[in-house]
Homo-oligomer: A and B are copies of this chain.
């Protein structure tokens, strides 16, 4: 048993740090630091191109497809260092979600057609899973895809589509057979967002930002060659994808960065008086989070270690999701509580730490809702781990 990174892993970490220090453009880093999403598409794709140029465009892909061949631990180190350096998160929908499905279930033609655009930072992908009434109960989805010659005709609505307003492509779960039980009649298909009949309406969120969309499909015609695998087997691919969505689910790096920033803000506010971190009551709340985060990092590494041996992410990821999101949310509460009445302002210009703190507090409410609500995660633990 050894909880420390090996010398090789430490050398790798230093290499990543070095790369981030020299290659992450300052204007992108500063926008990320300010949570300024005015250039979100450009920033994320530019960073993807820089990563690709370094050969790190797809940490988790097999080397055959242009991936790094890194171990799970290296991937963990990489993602955490990126968070700590205020680098943009890679867009998961392409690199982490549709790509593994393509590599596992796509045809050679599909792989050749779509994977380069993902790793090279050309195509923006988004996800068409949830529908009105089909959130946690995803298998009840209703959007229709009817075969018509060499095409499918899509009709229906997707909701909680993240950042689809910038997307070139969307991967969708659609119902191709309404006569069988829900899981059996679903297919997985790739749709060009420029197709006629697609309407995207961004939803204004409680923090005033536009991060999710409703998307309507009105007789959208999609070439049958865009179907992944076999018709009506989409549920299998969807579950496979959801398993892959879960890397970095604990958000250790983001939480560490959040605590660093809490210290920075506390020190800056202290010019007018004492540092709030010298208040034992507030400091105890901070210590509590630090402590839980330290434990969660070890728990995360334990899960990674077990996965590397068993080759399958297990229901343990639900624990990481629950505690990880709780910690991120609590750090956002600490930011607001540190700022106190200053956190009331919500429409000052973007360069204001109170505004960022308040926006983050509001926005991060989503963490315990999206990606499988924490209630669903507790159900999974009860059923899959505890056997209840």
Contacts and interface: CB of A to CB of B under 8 A. Distances in A.
A388 interface: no
A280 interface: yes
A290 to B, nearest CB: 15
A295 interface: no
Number of copies: 2
Nearest to A280: B280
Interface string A280-324: 110010000000000000000000000000000000000000000
Nearest to A279: B280
A281 B279 CA distance: 9
A240 to B, nearest CB: 36
A251 to B, nearest CB: 28
Interface residues of A, number: 4
5 contacts: A279-B280, A280-B280, A280-B281, A281-B281, A281-B284
Contacts of A281: 280-281, 284
Contacts of A280: 279-281
A118 to B, nearest CB: 45
Contacts of A279: 280
A279 B284 CA distance: 12
Q: Which residue among A279, A280, A284 has the maximum number of chain B CB atoms within 10 Å of its CB? A: A280
Nearest to A287: B281
Contacts of A284: 281
A388 to B, nearest CB: 15
A284 B280 CA distance: 10
A280 B281 CA distance: 6
A284 B284 CA distance: 11
A346 to B, nearest CB: 29
A202 B280 CA distance: 47
A163 to B, nearest CB: 36
A280 B279 CA distance: 9
A279 B281 CA distance: 9
A279 B279 CA distance: 11
A304 B281 CA distance: 36
Q: Nearest 3 A-B pairs (CB), nearest first?
A: A280-B280, A281-B284, A280-B281
A281 B281 CA distance: 5
A382 to B, nearest CB: 16
